[in-house]
Amino acid sequence: MSHDTAISLALATSSTAKTDPLAISTHLPPAGFFEDGTALNRLLLEAPYMARCSDDKTATRVRPREYALRYPYMQVNRPGMVSWLVFDLDHANALAWDDAGLPAPNLMVRNRKSGHSQLFYAVPSVCTTENARAKPIQYMKAIYAAFAARLDADVDYHGGPVAKTPGHPWWETTEFHSHVYELGELASAVELTVKPWATGPKLDQVSHSRHCILFEQLRYFAYSIVNRERELGSFESFMRSLDA
């Protein structure tokens, strides 16, 4: 299905397509949204089926996600799920991530006038509903806070309710790569103020098998030394420490 066809289908199923003043917009999203394996395509697939969107930050409209791409602001994370860590930079240094020695974002969306930008990092989806496990949420929030501090980003933004829509003509969009970062990858680039492993392994919650206990103990020890070895040591010295 071509992206023009997808947009047409989205418009046809929208009950407000005939009355929405922006429904006749001539802007079509970049083809990358409909090409498998791109960061733009992942953003489309992970967005809510009916996404909040608008021509300002109020997010007053709800539209099919293929159509929401036409708006300069749209919802990129589904309710109760975080698939993108989005950082809002209220300064003109869009390359703050490079200056801070952080991994490259998947997408950089920059205001053409002010130079302010948003950085999008793709991560495996983290459930944030009231029934979700607390540890992954705490881990993700700690990573977000650490990155925000290094980027001098808005620590209260948290990607919503809407973000700058990548590819919209209002913004200058750069797609760097399509890699989905594991949270551990991002955590290894910063010092976390809250560490899920700080209290050590909870051996009463794992099998009493000798191998399981050894794995838990070794895992937490590895967490505690990985940053030091990354800066001062090598992979070989890291492995020797674990073997010891």
Assigned token pair, 172 = 């200058």
Determine the average pLDDT of the residues in 10-18.
41
211 pLDDT above the threshold of 80:
no
Burial class (CB in 10 A: 0-12, 13-18, 19+), 105: buried
**What is the per-residue pLDDT for 87?**
97
> What are the angstrom distances between the C-alpha of 35 and each of 30, 31, 44, 72?
10, 7, 10, 21
The mean per-residue pLDDT over the stretch 103-122 comes to: 97
Distance in angstroms (rounded) separating the CA atoms of residues 24 and 16: 12
> Do strands 171-175 and 163-164 pair parallel, antiparallel, or not at all (unpaired)?
unpaired
Region 213-230 average pLDDT? 68
Q: Is 125 exposed, middle or buried (0-12, 13-18, 19+ CB in 10 A)?
A: middle
Length of the chain in terms of residues written: 244
Which residue did the predictor score with more confidence, 52 or 19?
52
DSSP designation for 45: H
Q: In what order do the strands lie in the sheet with 117-127?
A: 81-89, 117-127, 107-111, 171-175
pLDDT tens, residue by residue, 16-26: 444 444 444 55
Q: Give pLDDT tens digits for 126-185.
A: 999 988 999 999 999 999 999 999 999 998 887 677 999 999 999 999 999 999 999 999
Q: Which CATH number fits domain 3-187: 3.90.1200.10, 3.30.420.40, 3.40.50.720, 3.30.70.1790?
A: 3.30.70.1790
